[in-house]
Structure formats: structure tokens, C-alpha cells
Amino acid sequence: MKPTVDTAYLHFDETGSIPAIKFARIAVGMGLPISAAKDDKHVAIATVNRDGNPLYTGADKVVRISKDCVVLVTGHGGDTNQVRQMLRDMAVNHKFVLGSEISPKEVSLSLSDYLHELGMSYRRPLGVGIIVAGFDNHGTTPAVYHCDVDGNATDRNGIALGKESSQAEHALSEAFKAKKKTEDAVKAAADATIKGMKEGSVDAASQSFRVDLEVLKPRRTGNPVGAKGG
């Protein structure tokens, strides 16, 4: 799936950087918050969604790829749809060709390769923040990966993307230092983003938000990857 070259994006600003990549990062920062963290047994994920207003709708930020892997996406709406379709194709092809569940590490590497090729071919980078979470090593080892717009895939203990992500990562860090449970750390990060959005925007202050939290557990034969948590 190699992107074609698009010279319309072969443009550098006065600092020597490519504006399209800068704009992609801005798009990620405008998305509703997503976060994830892991310990030695579990992975906790959280998304922040608008609540209580029938005028607001949005695609699901959590895409289930296999029994061992989920992907959280936020950012530019059209680009997130493209990522969702790519993920579904990836999962089906992996299951059909190899007959096994695709792992978070495999998903993160495939996504990062594609995002990197977008940049190398000077096509418009996707304005999407991506967190890959689940269990590597046949559904046994907790894993959290961050795929950025440049095409880097990094292994993380905790990560937050979207609006107020700096406040969320600070909350995660403080929760880790206090040795809180992983799900409590992720919930604290999500709550910090809601507080930051409401304090920083009049529009956000008048809206209601909810936190959807989920704790992922190691796979058992025939059981799905997720178990609802609160």
C-alpha cells in the first residue's frame, strides 16, 4: 500500500519544515481526548466524548482489531475514517493469510510504516492521533504504542492525545508516582482534559462530557479482549 507522490505538498516554510506536517499535528491537538496506560497485567483505555446534546454525533474512537488489539483514534474526522478502514482491512488480511490474531506491535508497525511513507512521498500526512493497545506475545503481555504523524511507533507506559493532552500526561505521571491503579490513572487523565477544556473555552464550558473507560485483560480462549470497567 505505497502512497503515490503528490508534489502539491512538497513545500517548505522559512524554518525548513513542511507546513502540512505542522497542520496535521494541530489537527491531532483539536481532537477529543484519548488516553491509555498499562501495568504488568492490564491495559486501561479511556475516551472523552460529548454527552447530552443530540446535535453532536461522532464516530467511535475505539476500533477493535482482534482479540488482542484495540486502536484509539482522534483528530481530523475524514482521516480517522480512512484509518478505521485501513485497520479493518489489515485485521481481515492477517486473519485470512496467517490464521492468527494480529498483535498490537504488528498493528503499530504497519501503521507507522504507512504514515512514514506518506511523509516520504510528500503526500498530505494524516491529522490523526493513534494509540494501539492490547496484548503482545499471543495475548499475554500488556502493550501500549503511540503512532505519530511522522510515522514513528513508540512503546509507552502511558500516553494521552487530543485536546489538553499535556494536562492529561501530567495527571498520568502524577498517578504513576502515587502508585495508583492503572484505570484510576487513566480516569484522572481524562478528567484533567475535561477540566482543561471547560476552563479554556466558553463553548466547552457549556457542554457536557463523559469518560468511557475500559480495562483490557489478557486473552482467555474464546473470550474477547475487553471487559468494561468503571
Which pTM value belongs to this model? 0.83
Q: Domain count of the chain?
A: 1
> Is 14 within a domain?
no
Residue found by looking up cell 525548513 in the block: 16
> Is 17 within a domain?
no
> Is 49 within a domain?
yes
CATH number, position 88 = 3.60.20.10
> Is 82 within a domain?
yes
Q: Report the candidate in 24, 4, 40 with the shortest Cα–Cα distance to residue 79.
A: 24
Q: From first to last of its 230 residues, what are the pLDDT tens digits of the chain?
A: 555 545 554 555 555 556 677 777 888 888 899 999 999 999 999 999 888 666 665 667 898 988 999 999 998 877 888 888 888 888 888 888 888 889 999 999 999 888 887 766 666 788 889 999 999 998 999 999 999 988 889 999 999 999 999 999 999 999 999 999 999 999 999 999 999 999 988 888 888 898 999 999 987 544 445 545 44
Distance (Å, whole) CA 219 – CA 103: 12
Residue 97 belongs to domain spanning: 23-214
> Is 125 within a domain?
yes
> Is 149 within a domain?
yes
> Is 15 within a domain?
no
> Is 184 within a domain?
yes
Distance (Å, whole) CA 76 – CA 64: 19
